[in-house]
Structure 1
């Protein structure tokens, strides 16, 4: 899993509340178990018109946000079904960080499994970040996981909280298997002692 330490990039404003996982990646794109190639389906019902052409009014289709790496979204982001394809699609598009006032629990957990940093902020802070993002590619945000700060274009900073174990996971690029392998010496020692104490097992 790709490590996350510091990210500086364009932030796309998506001030819609209750964005569910079907809106993030519609069910038509769930036929694959690959983590790549899903970026084309990200927000498909919003990004494309009925004839399949890009919707010029959707934020990620605007030139200023075509390479956005940060998403500023409304409350309760990632609600709905527990499809892991949702963070896969975000990551495949290039989104490494999502900032909102709240996230659905399963989506929030899935982000950490896939190298995406979900950040919870207050409504006042979200409004300020949405204003920053509305300025387009000239207003870039910096997210520093080590210091747990978001630096705004004017130099002001917003502190965010994150659980120590989740921070460690992202800084070191560890999924569940990686977290387990970190304890490999302890596991090996246990197995050695177990074999010595129970040779018949």
Structure 2
């Protein structure tokens, strides 16, 4: 997984609350293999009218093409536990979602796929959505400092410290465990000397 430290990129507003995982990727598109890519199906039923892109939908606007940051309202990624919702975002090029709150399982899946679920306040979300609606474009998300810069203003954001460590290093759960290998080995050695009877016979 590619580490995420500082992301300077175009941002796209999604002024909706309660965007659930079924909206992020409708179930009918989940029969495809992961290797085929899910990016074209992101928010499919909101972005398209049948097979025709809706010109007024933010992600379809020419000035938002290539956006890597998404700004939304509260409870983003609620609903079912489908990891394909994260696949759709990542395959579309999104690396960070800024919102006041997230679905818990969605957040965990996001981090495991290199996507940052950054929590901001309601007021900050509205300020960023307004700025983007008025022509704002790029912003910088600094995971090292847990800050973002947009339109000459600096905002703080929150993320679970363990998830932050994983994203900064590009680690999976196994990588995170292996980062403590020396401590684990030291404990195992000391415990085998303190309680030799618990060790299985060799």
Same fold (TM over 0.5): yes
Query: Partner residue of 2:137?
Result: 139
Query: Partner residue of 1:183?
Result: 180
Query: Partner residue of 1:23?
Result: 23
Query: Partner residue of 1:200?
Result: 201
State how far apart, in whole Å, the 1-side matches of 2:66 and 2:86 are: 17
Query: Partner residue of 2:64?
Result: 65
Q: Are 2:24 and 2:85, in contact at CA under 8 Å, matched by a contact in 1?
A: yes
1:110 deviates by 1.2
Aligned length: 198
- The superposition leaves residues 126-170 of structure 1 with CA deviations (integer Å, 9 ceiling, x where unpaired) of 11110122244x5211100111111012x2100122232221111
State how far apart, in whole Å, the 2-side matches of 1:133 and 1:58 are: 14
Query: Partner residue of 2:49?
Result: 49
Q: Are 1:35 and 1:89, in contact at CA under 8 Å, matched by a contact in 2?
A: no
SS of 1:11's partner is strand
Superposition TM-score, scaled by structure 1 size: 0.89
Superposition TM-score, scaled by structure 2 size: 0.89
Over the aligned positions, Cα root-mean-square deviation in angstroms equals: 2.1
Q: Are 2:21 and 2:79, in contact at CA under 8 Å, matched by a contact in 1?
A: yes
State how far apart, in whole Å, the 1-side matches of 2:36 and 2:12 are: 22
Residues 70-149 of structure 1: pairs in structure 2 closer than 5 A: 70-136=69-135, 139-149=137-147
Q: Are 2:117 and 2:159, in contact at CA under 8 Å, matched by a contact in 1?
A: no
2:158 is aligned with 1:170? no
Q: Are 1:87 and 1:107, in contact at CA under 8 Å, matched by a contact in 2?
A: yes
